């Protein structure tokens, strides 16, 4: 519900109002907040740094729009939907891999880095997509899968062909333990694949094991070999020359392994695949990762347009995350998995984590997301089973009004939900077969985009899309939601437009207000404007009162609402803001 008019009427008669000119945080807010108001605006974008105030939209190409009726999304389909993306208000699309691939990991097993998989179209289709996107001010970010290739990549085929092949050392080959001429022995150590079981695969032809952090069909590249650097830098050059705006770098913390092959320590319990739990101590986050990030940055920085690097790295804390920025010479946008995975509506937890990242030692730009192609959708993860739509709007406000670069996942703007396969026979993602029923795989968050309420949701003309259309598509779809001013889609549109029109929401500092256990409140402040965001993360009605210490009050100022997800009543006063369950309010002090 958009209630701007009623709120303005309500505060017009208020004796108590907010003073924007003297708005200042309390001592408590300052203690936990990173930046004082005096410094407001010091982090304003310089030069073209477009990525600081961009909103990135992740597209899973198999599932976005099918243009040729084969049940699988494709490049022409994405191009056909650029107007939708432009109207929505996004600035860049990150497309997950569209390179030739056997498809074991649905594109993350690449057999040729400098071509387009015919399933998705041609290079001409790709060039046309970049050109059409540019016309609409939309940048294209590619996925750079750097840790591993497909076992069908010609580099690996050569590498596995003989022990003295020049590309043998492009991958990680080791002898087994206790291996003899007739016995393959045991894997070199206890390292485990993220996708279950040993990370070592025996290769009978050359009688050695190769290392794979992910599926058996995804052998790890050996980043200790300079020729691998040259080849992978060439991949970056290839796509930069085609006009892409940067890369999302896949699984970057897994690039190096301990050369002495120490066993990883075991943890208690077992995973969904029945393996003992393990700490990936000797295969994650080795310091050399940062040399590679610097190198990638220096390659892309040869090109104009301020190319962006986004990293997928599920770092365990803000200190580890901050290292990804380097000294401003690594990546601009490390994805913040800490915040993505709070997985409960907890005001204290969000307050703590947002304060931490605001205060990051590298002064880097945060990158926020709540859904992607690897984890259940936010509608389910944050919903309480009763108020999910309301909570979806609250999460949209959180994502789009905090200081950072938001990254959306296709369909989150509709309230798309996770729709897991019901039977093991229907599972596509191999981990879903291996771990069933504990681990059902990632099909549930990759279902086709819901454009219309028709049987195939406007995604395809095929009778059988590659993944089934979720039943929720009949109600949650672009066509229906566009017509409903209260829909989740229109909430996103409204918030995205606000980000563009309000400098404080794009670039202003962020300062937490108060310590309420249910309400996450914060101030966004740029040189000449202050915006307050109030998020009631509980199922109780809450009354939020700005204390004189939180903000200075006087009689001449007002608080003007910009957005609210719900009617908050007629009796609003800055000293007494009534917030219904899961209400989200964005208001401007003036």
Compute the distance between CA of residue 520 and CA of residue 19 in angstroms, rounded to an integer. Answer: 21
Instruction: Give least dist CB 225 to ligand NOJ, A.
Output: 20
Task: Tell which one of 55, 75, 140, 251 touches ligand NOJ (CB under 6 A).
Answer: 251
Compute the distance between CA of residue 98 and CA of residue 410 in angstroms, rounded to an integer. Answer: 16
58 near ligand NOJ (CB under 6 A): no
312 near ligand NOJ (CB under 6 A): yes
Q: What angle do helix axes 488-501 and 388-401 make, rounded to 10 degrees?
A: 20
Task: Tell which one of 58, 74, 105, 220 touches ligand NOJ (CB under 6 A).
Answer: 105
Instruction: Give least dist CB 393 to ligand NOJ, A.
Output: 27
| Residue 510, CA atoms < 13 Å, CB-side half-sphere | 28
Q: CB neighbours (10 Å) of residue 424?
A: 12
* Residue among 66, 143, 220, 250 flagged as catalytic: 250
Q: CB neighbours (10 Å) of residue 259?
A: 10
Task: Tell which one of 214, 247, 354, 410 touches ligand NOJ (CB under 6 A).
Answer: 214
Q: Nearest Cα to 410, choosing from 478, 346, 483, 331?
A: 478
Instruction: Give least dist CB 475 to ligand NOJ, A.
Output: 29
Q: CB neighbours (10 Å) of residue 287?
A: 8
Residues 480-499 that bind ligand NOJ (CB under 6 A): none
Residues 523-582 that bind ligand NOJ (CB under 6 A): none
Read off the DSSP letter of residue 510: E
Which is nearer to ligand NOJ, 126 or 214 (by Cβ)? Answer: 214
* Residue among 119, 312, 380, 518 flagged as catalytic: 312
Instruction: Give least dist CB 216 to ligand NOJ, A.
Output: 12
Q: 462: alpha, beta or left, given left = phi > 0 and alpha = psi -120 to 50?
A: beta
Exposed e or buried b per residue across 181-204, where buried means at least 16 C-beta atoms within 10 angstroms of its C-beta: eeebeebbbbbbbbbbebbbbebe
Instruction: Give least dist CB 141 to ligand NOJ, A.
Output: 14
Compute the distance between CA of residue 4 and CA of residue 401 in angstroms, rounded to an integer. Answer: 17
Which is nearer to ligand NOJ, 145 or 394 (by Cβ)? Answer: 145
Which is nearer to ligand NOJ, 251 or 394 (by Cβ)? Answer: 251
502 has catalytic annotation = no
Residues 120-179 that bind ligand NOJ (CB under 6 A): 145
247 near ligand NOJ (CB under 6 A): no
Instruction: Give least dist CB 63 to ligand NOJ, A.
Output: 13
408 near ligand NOJ (CB under 6 A): no
Instruction: Give least dist CB 443 to ligand NOJ, A.
Output: 12
Task: Tell which one of 74, 119, 151, 250 touches ligand NOJ (CB under 6 A).
Answer: 250
Which is nearer to ligand NOJ, 108 or 379 (by Cβ)? Answer: 108
Total length of the chain: 590
374 near ligand NOJ (CB under 6 A): yes
Which is nearer to ligand NOJ, 214 or 282 (by Cβ)? Answer: 214
Which residue number has the CB closest to ligand NOJ?
A: 108
| Cα distance between the two ends of the chain | 23
Any residues with CB less than 8 A from the CB of 341 and at least 6 apart, and which? Answer: 375
256 near ligand NOJ (CB under 6 A): no
Which is nearer to ligand NOJ, 217 or 491 (by Cβ)? Answer: 217
Kindly tell me the burial class for residue 319, based on how many C-beta atoms sit within 10 Å of its own C-beta (0-12, 13-18, 19 or more). exposed
399 has catalytic annotation = no
Exposed e or buried b per residue across 110-135, where buried means at least 16 C-beta atoms within 10 angstroms of its C-beta: bbbbeebbebbbeeebbeebbebbee
Instruction: Give least dist CB 457 to ligand NOJ, A.
Output: 23
Enter the tokens of residue 152: 């069908």
Residue that the structure tokens 């109600």 belong to? 475
Compute the distance between CA of residue 25 and CA of residue 307 in angstroms, rounded to an integer. Answer: 36
Instruction: Give least dist CB 312 to ligand NOJ, A.
Output: 6
Which is nearer to ligand NOJ, 149 or 491 (by Cβ)? Answer: 149
Instruction: Give least dist CB 254 to ligand NOJ, A.
Output: 8
Residues 501-520 that bind ligand NOJ (CB under 6 A): none
Give how many residues touch ligand NOJ by CB under 6 A.
Answer: 9
Which is nearer to ligand NOJ, 108 or 520 (by Cβ)? Answer: 108
Q: Nearest Cα to 304, choosing from 234, 233, 236, 240?
A: 240
Q: Give the DSSP H or E segment for 208.
A: strand 208-211
Q: Give the DSSP H or E segment for 491.
A: helix 488-501
108 near ligand NOJ (CB under 6 A): yes
Which is nearer to ligand NOJ, 72 or 509 (by Cβ)? Answer: 72
Contact between 459 and 65 under an 8 Å Cβ cutoff? The reply is yes
Compute the distance between CA of residue 3 and CA of residue 9 in angstroms, rounded to an integer. Answer: 10
Which is nearer to ligand NOJ, 52 or 254 (by Cβ)? Answer: 254
Q: Give the DSSP H or E segment for 521.
A: strand 519-526
Any residues with CB less than 8 A from the CB of 179 and at least 6 apart, and which? Answer: 185, 207
Positions marked catalytic: 250, 312
Contact set with ligand NOJ (CB under 6 A): 105, 108, 145, 214, 250-251, 312, 373-374
């Amino acid at each position: 519900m958009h209630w701007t008019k009623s709120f303005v009427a309500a505060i017009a008669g208020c004796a108590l109002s907010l003073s924007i000119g003297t708005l200042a945080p309390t001592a408590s807010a300052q203690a936990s907040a990173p930046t004082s108001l005096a410094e407001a605006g010091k982090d304003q974008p310089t030069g073209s740094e477009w990525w600081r105030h961009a909103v990135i939209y992740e597209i899973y190409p198999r599932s976005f729009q099918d243009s040729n009726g084969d049940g699988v999304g494709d490049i022409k389909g994405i191009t056909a939907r650029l107007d939708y993306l432009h109207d929505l208000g996004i600035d860049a699309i990150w497309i997950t891999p569209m390179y030739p691939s056997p498809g074991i990991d649905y594109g993350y097993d690449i057999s040729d880095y400098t071509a387009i998989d015919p399933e998705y179209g041609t290079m001409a289709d790709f060039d046309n997509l970049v050109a059409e996107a540019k016309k609409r001010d939309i940048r294209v970010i590619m996925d750079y899968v750097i840790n591993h290739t497909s076992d069908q990549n010609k580099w690996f085929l050569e590498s596995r062909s003989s022990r003295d092949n020049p590309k043998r050392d492009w991958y990680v080959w080791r002898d087994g333990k206790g291996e003899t001429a007739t016995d393959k022995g045991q894997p070199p150590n206890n390292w485990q694949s993220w996708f279950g079981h040993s990370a070592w695969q025996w290769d009978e032809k050359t009688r050695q094991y190769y290392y794979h952090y992910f599926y058996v069909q995804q052998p790890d590249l050996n980043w200790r070999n300079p020729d691998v650097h040259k080849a992978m830098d060439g991949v970056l050059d290839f796509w930069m020359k085609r006009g892409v705006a940067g890369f999302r770098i896949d699984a970057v913390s897994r690039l190096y392994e301990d050369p002495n092959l120490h066993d990883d320590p075991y943890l208690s319990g077992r995973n969904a695949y029945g393996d003992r739990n393990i700490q990936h101590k000797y295969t994650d986050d080795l310091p050399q990762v940062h040399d590679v990030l610097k190198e990638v940055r220096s390659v892309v920085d040869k090109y104009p347009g301020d190319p962006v690097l986004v990293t997928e790295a599920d770092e365990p804390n803000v200190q580890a995350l901050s290292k990804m920025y380097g000294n401003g010479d690594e990546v601009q946008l490390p994805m913040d998995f800490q915040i993505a995975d709070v997985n409960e509506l907890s005001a204290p937890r969000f307050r703590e984590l947002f304060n931490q990242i605001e205060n990051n030692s590298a002064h880097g730009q945060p990158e926020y997301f709540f859904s992607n192609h690897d984890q259940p959708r936010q509608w389910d993860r944050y919903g309480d089973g009763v108020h999910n739509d309301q909570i979806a709007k609250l999460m949209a406000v959180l994502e789009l009004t905090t200081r950072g670069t938001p990254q959306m996942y296709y369909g989150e703007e509709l309230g798309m939900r996770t729709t897991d396969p019901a039977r093991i026979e229907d599972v596509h993602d191999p981990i879903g077969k291996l771990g069933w029923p504990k681990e059902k795989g990632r099909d549930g968050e990759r279902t086709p985009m819901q454009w219309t309420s028709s049987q195939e949701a406007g995604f395809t003309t095929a009778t059988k899309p590659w993944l089934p259309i979720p039943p929720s598509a009949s109600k949650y779809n672009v066509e229906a939601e566009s017509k409903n001013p209260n829909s989740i889609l229109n909430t996103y549109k409204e918030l995205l437009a606000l980000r563009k029109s309000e400098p404080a929401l794009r670039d202003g500092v962020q300062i937490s207000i108060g310590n309420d256990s249910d309400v996450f409140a914060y101030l966004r402040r740029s040189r000449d404007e202050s915006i307050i965001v109030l998020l009631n993360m509980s199922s109780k009605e809450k009354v939020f009162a700005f204390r004189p210490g939180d903000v200075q009050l006087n009689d001449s100022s007002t608080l003007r609402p910009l957005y609210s997800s719900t009617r908050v009543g007629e009796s609003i006063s800055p000293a007494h803001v009534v917030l219904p369950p899961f209400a989200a309010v964005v208001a401007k002090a003036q």
